[in-house]
Structure 1
Amino acid sequence: MDQIQTALTNKGKKVFVPYIMAGDGGLESLREKLLFLQDSGADAIEIGIPFSDPVADGPTIQRAGIRALKEGTTLKKVLNTLKTYKDEVSVPLILMTYLNPLIAYGYEQFADDAQKAGVAGCIIPDLPIEEEALIVPFLDKESLTLIRLVTLTTPIERIREIAGKSEGFIYAVTVTGTTGTRNEFSSNLAGFLKTVKSLSSVPVLAGFGVSNKEQIQEVCKYCDGVIVGSKVIDLFEQEKYEEIQNLIHAAEMVNK
């Protein structure tokens, strides 16, 4: 069992994974945010790498990415920064990045540097399973987990194929579209999550559009936990730290 799956399994509660954008507010703020989230009960943390063409990101995360790019944030700088305090972070760190920055970096060099920075895995939204052989051997060599995504429109046979390869957890996308807060979800979301859960041997976490306590607790009825990004980014920007903690605790309450 890989590091991420180990951290998320047998928790006795639903899992909460916050997403933050590296370099939003300056890279010097990343350590403070990571330690705050860790101390507040986050089970793992997803770290976005700013990119000029983020096809999966909604307005909030796009704006955070633009702010980070203006600060001069790059993938290499993020990894170098994480490396300086990796011993302080005990929860798994998962990088969310796109394929182009990895091609530019070099797959083997990226995997080596990510491992040295204490990264446990990565999410690459624009990498289809048919092309995974480009990078997975390098990730495997450094014990880095590739987190795979399924969506509401993914055919059942493809969900089964992705589930059969998955490690860490399956990222179940709860909306048809980009990230961002939503007032309501599709009527077939519960059935979709139940289906993915029935096919998966690893935890299933739901993300995209999950933004308040009620949504967290509703979605957690059908899967193992949630990933919350846009709302966490907004709350950090507004310095509403207690509200971030309340979101984390909302997931913990589902099994009580």
Structure 2
Amino acid sequence: MNKIEKRLREVLARGEKGLIAYITAGDPDLATTVELAVAMGEAGADVLELGVPFSDPVADGPAIQAASQRALAGGVTVRGIIRAVEQIRRRSDIPLVLMTYYNPVYQYGPGRFAADAARAGANGLIVPDLPPEESGPLLEAAGDNQIDLIPLVTPNTPARRLPVITGRARGFIYCVSVTGVTGERESIMTDLAAMTDGVRSVTPLPVAVGFGISRPAQAAAVARHCDAVVVGSALVNTVAQKAGTPGLIKAVCEQVRELKEALTAREVQGVAAL
């Protein structure tokens, strides 16, 4: 069992649900990203998802698009992000997932990307614009370097596609809670129970749900139907609001603590359905 799956199963064994916390690498700068990552792990995040900025992030909403633009304008590169991962790993054992579009991976070279990311200490990879049928080279490179390639399942994914999408997955399955892009939402209308039950019928891997989850109460409600919850835009917005101030790390970590508290067994039980 790999580091990501092992951590999530340890969390479940404690009667909790996992918190996968996302920030954009290089926003506001890579030095802050390193400090944030370490502090978020100490504050209660179970897995860290680190976004690789890209100029055309088709799956991301306004908050993460803006964060990517700020990071790119600041000169962030894939090599710089990999060095940041290495610095994070020296100080924290939190499982770390890189979320990137395929173009940066292709430009870097799939084999070299997987090898360098693994050497730095990354444990998983999410590539939302790479369909399973075209993932062969990266899947092979990831497997050779003990990197989990984590697939996405959407509300529109046909049941017949689930075995194809999940068949060679490792780490966890990422269920997208809404159609469209990332971003904070007031409510989530997807039938999460049906969606996650369908995924669980074809794979034993932990199931995480993300997109649109921003508040502790939302996280607790979603967690009734999955093993872990992914929160991104809400944290990215706080980074943007507090950038350049001494309170940035404290503010983000307070959010992380509140979200994690909502995912304890006591909080997860008995919450209202979405």
Q: TM-score range by the shorter chain?
A: over 0.9
| SS of equivalent to 2:214 | coil
Of all paired residues, the percent bearing the same amino acid is 39
What letter corresponds to residue 2 of structure 1 in structure 2? N
Structure 1 unpaired stretches of 5+: none
What letter corresponds to residue 19 of structure 2 in structure 1? F
CA contact (8 A) 1:235 1:244 kept: no
CA contact (8 A) 1:197 1:204 kept: yes
The size of the alignment, in residue pairs, is 256
Q: How far 1:189 sits from its partner (Å)?
A: 2.8
Q: Residue 156 of structure 1: which of 159, 168, 179 is its match?
A: 159
Judging changes above 3 Å, is the alpha-carbon distance between structure 1 residues 85 and 15 closer, same or farther for their aligned structure 2 residues? closer
Tell me which moved more, 163-172 or 99-108: 163-172
> 2:119 aligned with 1:92, yes or no?
no
What letter corresponds to residue 9 of structure 1 in structure 2? R
Distance (whole Å) between structure 1 residues aligned to residue 93 and residue 136 of structure 2: 29
Distance (whole Å) between structure 2 residues aligned to residue 85 and residue 50 of structure 1: 18
What letter corresponds to residue 29 of structure 2 in structure 1? G
> 2:6 aligned with 1:6, yes or no?
yes
Structure 2 equivalent of residue 254 of structure 1 = 268
| SS of equivalent to 1:177 | coil
Tell me which moved more, 137-146 or 243-252: 243-252
Distance (whole Å) between structure 1 residues aligned to residue 256 and residue 45 of structure 2: 10
> 2:64 aligned with 1:61, yes or no?
yes
Structure 2 equivalent of residue 205 of structure 1 = 208
Structure 2 equivalent of residue 81 of structure 1 = 84
Judging changes above 3 Å, is the alpha-carbon distance between structure 1 residues 152 and 85 closer, same or farther for their aligned structure 2 residues? closer
Question: Normalised by the size of structure 1, how large is the TM-score?
Answer: 0.95
Q: Residue 257 of structure 2: which of 245, 251, 254 is its match?
A: 245
Deviations 1:62-121, CA, capped at 9 Å, x for gaps: 010011011101111110222234221201110000111011101111111101110001
Distance (whole Å) between structure 1 residues aligned to residue 18 and residue 200 of structure 2: 14
Distance (whole Å) between structure 1 residues aligned to residue 135 and residue 115 of structure 2: 17
CA contact (8 A) 2:37 2:88 kept: no
Distance (whole Å) between structure 1 residues aligned to residue 132 and residue 43 of structure 2: 34
Distance (whole Å) between structure 2 residues aligned to residue 165 and residue 141 of structure 1: 13
Structure 2 unpaired stretches of 5+: 243-247
Tell me which moved more, 106-115 or 180-189: 180-189
Q: How far 1:16 sits from its partner (Å)?
A: 0.3
CA contact (8 A) 2:85 2:121 kept: yes
Q: How far 1:187 sits from its partner (Å)?
A: 4.6
| SS of equivalent to 2:201 | helix
| SS of equivalent to 1:55 | coil
| SS of equivalent to 2:130 | coil
Distance (whole Å) between structure 2 residues aligned to residue 254 and residue 198 of structure 1: 23
> 2:46 aligned with 1:43, yes or no?
yes
Structure 1 equivalent of residue 226 of structure 2 = 223
| SS of equivalent to 1:199 | coil
Distance (whole Å) between structure 2 residues aligned to residue 164 and residue 235 of structure 1: 36
| SS of equivalent to 1:186 | coil
CA contact (8 A) 2:53 2:72 kept: yes
| SS of equivalent to 1:140 | helix
Q: How far 1:197 sits from its partner (Å)?
A: 2.8
RMSD: 1.5
Distance (whole Å) between structure 1 residues aligned to residue 87 and residue 194 of structure 2: 44
CA contact (8 A) 1:174 1:185 kept: yes
Instruction: Trace 1:9-28 onto structure 2 (pairs within 5 A).
Output: 9-11=9-11, 12=14, 13-28=16-31
Tell me which moved more, 100-109 or 158-167: 158-167
Judging changes above 3 Å, is the alpha-carbon distance between structure 1 residues 72 and 80 closer, same or farther for their aligned structure 2 residues? same
Q: How far 1:250 sits from its partner (Å)?
A: 1.3
Judging changes above 3 Å, is the alpha-carbon distance between structure 1 residues 85 and 154 closer, same or farther for their aligned structure 2 residues? closer
CA contact (8 A) 2:28 2:239 kept: no
CA contact (8 A) 1:22 1:30 kept: yes
